Chain A
Amino acid sequence: MPSSMIVRALGLATLALFFLAAFTPLPAFLYERITIPVHIERADAIVVLAGGGVLASGQLSDSSLRRTVRGIALYRDGLAPLLVLSGGAGRRSEGAARAVLAVKCGVPDTAILASSAGHTTHEEVAALQPLLKARGVRRLLLVTDGTHMRRARGLVRDAGFEVLAAPVSEVEMPAQPEPRLRLLRATLREGLALVYYHIAGYL
């Protein structure tokens, strides 16, 4: 029956994709296509986008912590006078929790701008735009995950800013099957998100 042959072919194609993803550098190749190269220079602000929120324990999620630490390190390297920590309000504001960590790491209170508006990247950037404009920011270092950077950079650029990419690597280029599959999953998820943002007219 032709329909059963198509389903069988789909199954075989899925198996082939699984083996290619697990045992070849295909995920790394696709990741390279979707990410933006690092470009770090002096800017007016360092903007750290939300990433996973705050856990019930009050600690930042892994992704949020990685991005925050990257932002703090860039600030401590003297790359911008302003550290913008974004993150929506869930159980507790991610932006506020990040600000507490930044202060503990030696960033002065006056150099931190915490924002807790927006649930999605699109809403987050829309909320940040007036705050950054009010501070005279024109050029910014954008901190987010490597896979997320292309979509985030597009939105921030469309909001009228010059963007320098300071991505956080989710993974090293993996050599083991499981991390490779995880990288493929993150890349495909972001690919779908990019398609959705284009269809929705956000990009």
Chain B
Amino acid sequence: MTPYMAVALTSLVAYFIAVKRLGWRPSDLGGALGRMAESLGAGVIFAVVNVLAAGGLVLGLRMLTDRFFSLYSLDDLGWLAVSMLQGWAWALWRDSKTAQLR
């Protein structure tokens, strides 16, 4: 549990630096966390779509070729990280579009 206590501690330190030194408003934190949740949600959608597409591709390749392609190849944390990056990029893009409209 020690690393998680460190995470709690660094979060607290970062909060105080942001508020006291950088002058950020505490009331903006809720909105930032909401946008973070939105990025995460978009990442989850990308992850589900990616795994369905990859699964379809594996099953399709099995049917169309003589070679065996394993569904266990989908059991890889790498694609999850890439899906989260997709979601993050998507959310940032959407934010910039919204900012332009204001």
Contact call A10/B68, Cβ cutoff below 8 A: no
Comparing A11-19, A28-36, A158-166, the segment that makes contact with chain B is A11-19
Complex CA–CA separation, A176 to B2 (angstroms): 11
**Is residue A179 within 8 Å, beta carbon to beta carbon, of the partner chain?**
no
Q: How far is the CA of A12 from the CA of B42 in the complex (A)?
A: 11
Q: Is chain A's binding surface mostly helix, strand, loop or mixed?
A: helix
| Contact status B75-A10, CB under 8 Å | no
Which chain A residues border B36 with CB–CB below 8 Å?
11
Judge whether B71 and A7 touch: CB under 8 Å.
Answer: no
A11-B4 contact given A119-B68, A119-B70, CB 8 Å threshold: no
B42: chain A residues at CB < 8 Å are 7, 11
Q: Is the CB–CB distance between A10 and B41 below 8 Å?
A: yes
A133 touches B (CB below 8 Å): no
Extra contacts besides A8-B41, A12-B37, A196-B71 (4): CB < 8 Å: A8-B38, A11-B43, A15-B40, A120-B70
- Nearest first, the 10 A-B pairs at minimum CB distance are A11-B41, A11-B37, A11-B40, A10-B41, A7-B41, A119-B68, A8-B38, A12-B37, A8-B37, A14-B44
